[in-house]
């Protein structure tokens, strides 16, 4: 569930985002965003184009 919210925020952004920005955009706690990002990257649905920034694939 959180993964979908995070992925949607990344897609809407169109640019790489920091986890704090994703937390603000989704209204989720940063810890939940960090877990969701970790899972999305592991599943290959998101990537980290540069350190501490994340984007949807």
- Mean of pLDDT values over 15-29: 96
Dump pLDDT digits (tens) for 5-14.
999 999 999 8
- Report helix, strand or coil for 24: helix
Dist CA 30 CA 22 (whole Å): 8
Helix-helix angle 19-26:30-43, to 10 degrees: 110
pTM of the model: 0.89
């Amino acid at each position: 569930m959180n993964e979908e919210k995070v992925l949607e925020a990344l897609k809407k952004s169109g640019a790489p985002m920091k986890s704090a920005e994703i937390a603000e955009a989704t209204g989720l706690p940063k810890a939940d965003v960090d877990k969701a990002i970790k899972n999305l990257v592991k599943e290959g649905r998101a990537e980290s184009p540069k350190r501490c920034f994340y984007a949807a694939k």
